[in-house]
Amino acid sequence: MPRHGCGLPGRRRKRHSAAYALCIVLAAAAAWARPVRRVFQPKDLDFREAGLLELTLQFGLVRGQNAYRVSTPGFELDLGLTRNLELDVSGELAVAGPNDGAFTFDRTSPDNTWTSLKTGLLDVSTGADTWTAGLQLGPQLPTARGNSGLGLEGLVLVGWRHRETLLVANLGGLLDPDPGGGNPRPAGLEGGLDLTRPVDAAGRWTLYGGVSGVRYLATYADQMNVLAGVIWSPNERLDVSLTALGGPVAGGDRWGVLLGFTPRARLW
């Protein structure tokens, strides 16, 4: 069966082929320029001692909203500056597949990087209960492909500890860097809960979980995710974690399994 356009004269065939190739390139560029917005993960209210560096690296497979990706890795760096002031840097490096959901990995897909300061505002104990509050605020750096300009993200953190169980509520908002391609800047409200509980007297094993979501003000699909996992702490210098996540709404990551390593080192 002859292909479409085979009966055209040679010059017209070339123009048709060039136009077709240009359409493919433009469509691929538009797909590449789609904004990257990973699911918001709730933050804790732990503060590292001054001079203590903690680096969490998570590796694993994630099914995003449109494509699979391998996290290589997701990372969070925490550096204690004073007793209740901490520098946090978080983001993700990844190799991803196409937006049609095919199980192939042929492109890099980094996320924007949030650089923030976390400070404690309140610490009140009443018997077996302790109430804490803090603020985490800082710029979003445009490290996602095609993004430009600075964004901003901030959270109010409220924690409640009952004996060894710790629950932290997160509430805040975000304005991401410009994603380019004529897409509006993602802006919205975000919130979540982070729960941790040791399961043995020595504190070697800890269960944790969380729920988080983002309500975008326009254009983008809202997000919601549930996380659950276990942490093994063989010594004070290392944690090993296994995390499962699921997304019950259309926006953001659908599911994922991540293996994490958290080494610690004292800088001063």
Residue type, 56: T
Asked which of 100-104, 129-133, 201-205 is least confident by mean pLDDT, the reply is 100-104
The reported pLDDT for the residue numbered 36 is 52
Instruction: Check: pTM over 0.75? Answer yes or no.
Output: yes
In a domain, 22, yes or no: no
User: What gap in Å lies between CA 248 and CA 216, rounded to an integer?
Assistant: 16
Look up the CATH number of the domain holding residue 242. 2.40.230.20
**How many structural domains is the chain composed of?**
1
Residue 67 lies in a domain: yes
Cβ–Cβ under 8 Å, residues 89 and 74: no
Amino acid sitting at position 122: L
Cβ pair 213, 191 in contact under 8 A: yes
The answer as to whether 27 is a domain residue is: no
Question: Which residue in 28, 201, 148 sits closest to 98, CA to CA?
Answer: 28
Considering the chain, what percentage of its residues have pLDDT values greater than 70? 85
Q: What is the pLDDT at residue 13?
A: 37
DSSP strand E in 127-181: where? 129-141, 151-162, 165-175
Tell me, what's the pLDDT at 71?
94
Tokens of 125: 């104990």
Residue 102 lies in a domain: yes
Residue-level pLDDT at 139: 98
Q: Could you tell me which residue, 224 or 39, shows the higher pLDDT?
A: 224
- The pLDDT assigned to 110 comes to 94
Quick: pLDDT tens for 59-98: 999 999 889 999 999 999 999 999 999 999 999 999 999 9
Q: Which of 3-7, 81-85, 180-184, 218-222 has the lowest mean pLDDT?
A: 3-7
In a domain, 16, yes or no: no
Closest Cα partner for 225 from 37, 84, 58? Answer: 37
Quote the pLDDT of residue 153.
Answer: 97
CA distance 185 to 155: 19
Mean local confidence (pLDDT), 202-210 = 95
Residue 1 falls within a domain, yes or no? no
Higher-confidence position of 54 and 13: 54
Is 243 among the domain residues?
A: yes
What is the structure's pLDDT at 65?
85
Residue whose tokens read 């978080």? 90
Question: What six digits make up the tokens of 161?
Answer: 């500890």
* pLDDT reported for residue 22: 37
The half-sphere exposure of 268 on its side-chain side, counting CA atoms within 13 A, is: 6
Residue 51, pLDDT score: 97
Residue 207 reports pLDDT greater than 90: yes
**Token pair for residue 266?**
């004292």
Is there a contact between 175 and 151 (Cβ–Cβ < 8 Å)? yes
Q: Where is average pLDDT lowest: 18-27, 50-59, 119-128?
A: 18-27
- By DSSP bridging, strand 68-82 and strand 107-108 are unpaired
Q: What is the pLDDT of residue 160?
A: 97
For residue 248, the model assigns a pLDDT of 86
What dihedral do alpha carbons 117, 232, 73, 193 form, nearest 10°?
A: -50
Tokens 């004070």 sit on residue:
236
Separation in Å, CA 209 to CA 15, 42, 229, 244: 58, 10, 6, 9
Q: Report the C-alpha gap between 179 and 176 in whole angstroms.
A: 8
Q: Is the pLDDT assigned to residue 26 strictly greater than 60?
A: no
Residue 19 lies in a domain: no
Which residue range(s) make up the domain with 103? 33-266
